[in-house]
Copies of this chain bind each other. A is one copy, B any other.
């Protein structure tokens, strides 16, 4: 038995999320259907670094699976791509130690939230960016983001619809980046709760549009109730962009992005 780590990207717009569920198309279902086909079985298990919500995208998301087949690691990506639908793509596969776990071994993740602000609605971006007619105040958003950094109980800034009990996470970096009308919010943290990036984004936007003050964020976090935060931003702008398995790689990434 060999354990393979695949890096997959998917366009989330055609899925009800990553996780398998009855009567809805999911990324996991398609991945496991492809694996079953290759293994000539009726089903095959896979484990991802985590779940994404309906409409949410992923860039090189790690997914591991065990195999009894003797396919060389360099051939796995092509084998999977030949049976996967067009909205999932496997960039690479490599053999990993059988103790590796795509979810439990993660020490950090990065999400990007993409927006276009102050332009005509574009039919071409509708599944890939959150489109806003107005332009928020970037400085205020960055200021509010500063209050979200560090270790907190993130109950206010995530959905209560979860079985997860420990809501303490650490945010290492939250940056409000802008190039012309294209905005990207970048979140790097130890881990993220259900809808956490979308609630943080919605809350930062309310600050950007002057519906709340940046300095109200600490109180909002301390309240530890979802009702204290802003609206959940739509899923289409969200991308899981990196998963870190080594503390050193995470620290190196943080150093790179901290350069202004």
Contact = CB atoms under 8 A, between A and B. Distances in A.
Interface of A: 9-11, 57, 81, 86-89, 91, 120-124, 126, 128
B91 A126 contact: no
A10 B123 contact: yes
Contact of A9 (B9, B88, B91, B122): B122
Contacts of A57: 124
A88 B123 contact: yes
A17 to B, nearest CB: 16
Contact of A11 (B10, B86, B88, B126): B126
Contact of A122 (B81, B89, B120, B122): B89
A9 B121 CA distance: 10
A123 B91 contact: no
Nearest to A91: B120
Contacts of A128: 124
Nearest to A59: B124
Contacts of A123: 9-11, 86-89
A86 B124 contact: no
Contact of A126 (B87, B121, B124): B87
A86 B9 contact: no
Contacts of A89: 120-123
Contacts of A10: 123
Contacts of A122: 9, 89
Contacts of A126: 11, 86-87
Nearest to A9: B123
Nearest to A86: B126
A55 to B, nearest CB: 13
Given A9-B122, A86-B126, A89-B120, 11 more contacts: A9-B123, A9-B124, A11-B124, A11-B126, A57-B124, A81-B121, A86-B123, A87-B126, A88-B123, A89-B122, A89-B123
A6 B128 CA distance: 26
Nearest to A87: B123
A57 B9 CA distance: 24
A128 B86 CA distance: 13
